[in-house]
Chains A and B, each alone.
Chain A
Amino acid sequence: MQQSNGYIILFTAIMTVVVGGVLSFTSQVLAPAQKKSIELDTKSQILSSVMDREKLGKMTPEEVLSMYDKRITSLVVDINGQSVETDEDGEPVVAEKVDILKNYKKEPEERLYPVFKYMSADNPEKVDAYILPLYGAGLWDKIWGFVALDSDLITIAGASFAHKAETPGLGARIATPQIQQRYVGKKIYDGDELVSVMMVKGEGNPNLSEHQVDGMSGATITGKGLNNMLANYLNYYQSYFKKLKNETTASL
Chain B
Amino acid sequence: MSTETLEKSQEEEVVKTPSEGLLSKRRKRLMSDPLNEDNPITVQVLGICSALAITIKMEPTLIMSIAVIFVIVFANLIISLIRNLIPNRVRIIVQLAVIATLVTLVSEVLKAYNYEMYKVLGAFVGLIITNCIVMGRLEAFAMGNKPYDSILDGIGSGFGYAWIILTVAFFRELFGSGSFFDFHVFAALGWENFPTNGLMVDSIGAFMVLGILIWVQRSKTGYVEH
Contacts and interface: CB of A to CB of B under 8 A. Distances in A.
Contact of A7 (B87, B104, B201): B87
A40 interface: yes
B94 A169 contact: no
A3 B108 contact: no
B115 A40 contact: yes
A12 B116 CA distance: 36
B202 interface: yes
B93 interface: yes
Contacts of B119: 41
Contacts of A41: 115-116, 119
Interface residues of B, number: 27
A169 B202 contact: yes
B56 interface: yes
Contact of B112 (A11, A22, A33, A169): A33
Given A15-B94, A19-B101, A26-B105, A2 B88 contact: yes
B115 A30 contact: no
Contacts, number: 60
B90 interface: yes
B189 interface: no
Contact of B115 (A7, A12, A37): A37
B interface majority secondary structure: helix
Contacts of B111: 30, 34, 37
Contact of A30 (B88, B97, B108): B108
Contacts of B94: 11-12, 15
B89 interface: yes
B86 interface: yes
A25 B86 CA distance: 24
Contact of A11 (B87, B105, B176): B87
Given A26-B108, A34-B111, A40-B115, A168 B88 contact: no
The 7 A-B residue pairs with the shortest CB-CB distance in the complex, in nearest-first order: A33-B112, A37-B115, A169-B201, A30-B112, A8-B87, A34-B112, A19-B101
16 contacts: A2-B87, A3-B89, A11-B90, A11-B94, A12-B94, A16-B97, A22-B105, A26-B109, A33-B113, A34-B108, A37-B113, A41-B119, A168-B56, A169-B176, A169-B198, A169-B201
Interface of B: 56, 85-90, 93-94, 97-98, 101, 104-105, 108-109, 111-113, 115-116, 118-119, 176, 198, 201-202
